[in-house]
Amino acid sequence: MEFLDHDTYTDIITFDYNRGNMIIGEIYMSLDMIQENSIKNKVSFEDEFNRILIHGLLHLLGYKDKDPDDKILMTQKEDYYLSLQPQK
């Protein structure tokens, strides 16, 4: 509630402390929520973890996901960066 203005669990919270062109921040990830989401989304834990980590990094780069258009762009960026991973 204190940081996100909602009373639900989250898989990640990002604190942006950027200064000018310096990217500074903190990313906290809930491994329990990532595990739950990996099952719900029928993907591996590793794939979900990577998506959520990229999501947090995108927040540090200034991307938002509160409104529908921003969420679409965020997901497109996540998909793009995930596609750069070496194939398993």
| Per-residue pLDDT of the chain in tens (88 residues, 90 and over written 9) | 455 565 667 889 999 999 999 999 999 999 999 999 999 999 999 999 999 999 999 999 999 998 999 999 999 999 999 999 888 6
Q: What is the pLDDT of residue 7?
A: 61
List C-alpha distances in Å: 69 to 3, 51, 64, 65, 86. 22, 19, 9, 8, 29
Q: What is the pLDDT of residue 87?
A: 80
List C-alpha distances in Å: 65 to 46, 59, 87. 22, 9, 28
Where do the domains of the chain lie, and which CATH numbers do they carry?
12-83 (3.40.390.30)
Contact indicator for 16, 59 with CB cutoff of 8 Å:
yes
Q: What is the pLDDT of residue 11?
A: 87
Q: What is the pLDDT of residue 81?
A: 96
